[in-house]
């Protein structure tokens, strides 16, 4: 009996010692540089957002944060690498509604499972979508576009930076809610479609506000409408789909930060606190706003709520309209 009691005491002491060591190890996090995986090339909007926020987070955490660009395959390459990284907090990743939601409907099989493989840390930014036309185009307003689509279905063309992109799906939402038909022309990236809009080889272009900023500053294109509930601070004269009665759902590319699902809770909280402080930093918010990105600081729970809400709508839309990236 005494031997059993001694064994029980020993086990309890070992358990307490391990728990104390484990808690201490998490309180000391981080002890080395953190890798931040971004599924887009250097210089892209997502890269700019990550580098801007990472710089501020680094000050919060006391360790460098190194950006690891893994572009290609609609973010699948980056998501796959992040999902298989050690769950110790030293690998974080930019995740967006494409990686977490759209890809699950666009592809028959993925090398990662968003809900199973990722734990949200918090939201970072929102990039609202715009419809733009050439200044010399007959489409001076979104009402002109709607009238043309109704009068001659299929004669109006619009460019997007790829099948299944938030830009493509924003227009699919617009067409679905207004019972319209138009011809989509998908490009690999934004640069070639901008050139075709300027050359009037395509009637319209759907682009996020951050990517639109340089071309808007050139005053060669006209923003017709924002897929937003309220007018954008940087484009206060551009009407929204809500106010015009042309749709009741916001369409934006949103981005958050995630870690492998098995990452310890204390480490996730440390990262979440640092991210929240960084996105709320006035200098960071100013840089993001100047770039065209709306800062959207949130907790991990806030990111989960948006993820779940958006999944219900977009997954159904993609499937009902037969959109596939394969």
Let me know if domain 128-226 sits in CATH 3.40.190.10: yes
Mean pLDDT on 240-258: 89
Q: At what angle do helices 282-291 and 45-61 cross, to 10 degrees?
A: 180
User: CA neighbours within 13 Å on the CB side: how many for 208?
Assistant: 27
H-run or E-run covering 128: strand 118-134
252: helix, coil or strand? strand
The residue extents of the domains of the chain are 30-126+253-320, 128-226
Beta bridge pairs of residue 91: 35
How much of the chain exceeds pLDDT 70, in percent? Answer: 91
Domain boundaries 30-126+253-320, corresponding CATH code: 3.40.190.150
More confident residue, 27 or 296: 296
Domain 30-126+253-320 identical in fold to domain 128-226: yes
Q: How far apart, in whole angstroms, are the C-alpha atoms of residue 209 and residue 234?
A: 9
Which band of pLDDT confidence, cut at 50, 70 and 90, is reported for residue 217?
confident
Which band of pLDDT confidence, cut at 50, 70 and 90, is reported for residue 215?
confident
Which band of pLDDT confidence, cut at 50, 70 and 90, is reported for residue 200?
very high
Give the chain's radius of gyration (CA, Å): 23
Which band of pLDDT confidence, cut at 50, 70 and 90, is reported for residue 322?
very high
Tokens 């901008």 belong to which residue? 194
* Arithmetic mean of pLDDT over the chain: 90
Q: How far apart, in whole angstroms, are the C-alpha atoms of residue 268 and residue 310?
A: 23
Q: Residue 210: its pLDDT value, please?
A: 85
Q: Residue 221: its pLDDT value, please?
A: 93
Which band of pLDDT confidence, cut at 50, 70 and 90, is reported for residue 11?
very low
CA 32 to chain centre: 27
Mean pLDDT on 306-324: 93
**Res. 20: pLDDT tops 50:** no
Residues 6+ apart with CB under 8 A from 199: none
**Least confident among 7-21, 55-69, 72-86, 146-160:** 7-21
For residue 75, give the DSSP letter. Answer: G
Q: How far apart, in whole angstroms, are the C-alpha atoms of residue 107 and residue 110?
A: 7
Q: Residue 8: its pLDDT value, please?
A: 52
What tokens were used for 75? 């973010």
Mean pLDDT on 58-69: 97
More confident residue, 233 or 86: 86
DSSP β-ladder status, 34-38 and 118-134: unpaired
Q: Residue 21: its pLDDT value, please?
A: 40
């Amino acid at each position: 009996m005494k031997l059993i009691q001694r064994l029980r005491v020993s086990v309890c002491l070992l358990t307490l010692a391990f728990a104390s060591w484990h808690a201490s190890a998490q309180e000391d996090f981080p002890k080395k540089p953190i890798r931040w995986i971004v599924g887009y090339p250097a210089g892209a909007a997502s890269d700019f957002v990550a580098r801007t926020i990472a710089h501020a987070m680094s000050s919060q955490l006391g360790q460098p944060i190194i950006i690891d660009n893994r572009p290609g395959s609609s973010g699948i390459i980056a998501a796959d690498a992040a999902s298989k990284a050690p769950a110790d907090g030293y690998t974080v990743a930019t995740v967006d509604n494409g990686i977490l939601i759209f890809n699950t409907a666009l592809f028959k099989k993925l090398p990662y499972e968003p809900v199973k493989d990722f734990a949200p840390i918090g939201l970072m930014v929102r990039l609202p979508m715009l419809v733009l036309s050439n200044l010399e185009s007959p489409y001076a307003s979104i009402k002109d576009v709607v009238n043309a689509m109704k009068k001659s279905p299929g004669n109006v063309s619009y460019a997007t930076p790829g099948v299944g992109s938030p830009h493509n799906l924003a227009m699919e939402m617009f067409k679905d809610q207004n019972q319209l038909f138009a011809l989509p022309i998908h490009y690999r990236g934004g640069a070639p479609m901008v050139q075709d809009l300027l050359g009037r080889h395509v009637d319209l272009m759907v682009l996020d506000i951050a990517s639109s900023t340089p071309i808007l500053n050139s005053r060669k294109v006209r923003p017709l409408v924002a897929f937003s509930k309220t007018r954008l601070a940087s484009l206060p004269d551009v009407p929204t789909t809500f106010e015009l009665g042309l749709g009741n759902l916001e369409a934006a590319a949103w981005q958050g930060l995630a870690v492998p699902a098995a990452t310890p809770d204390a480490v996730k909280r440390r990262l979440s606190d640092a991210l929240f402080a960084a996105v709320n930093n006035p200098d960071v918010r100013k840089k993001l706003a100047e770039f065209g990105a709306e800062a959207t600081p949130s907790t991990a729970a806030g990111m989960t709520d948006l993820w779940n809400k958006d999944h219900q709508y977009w997954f159904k839309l993609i499937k009902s309209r037969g959109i596939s990236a394969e």
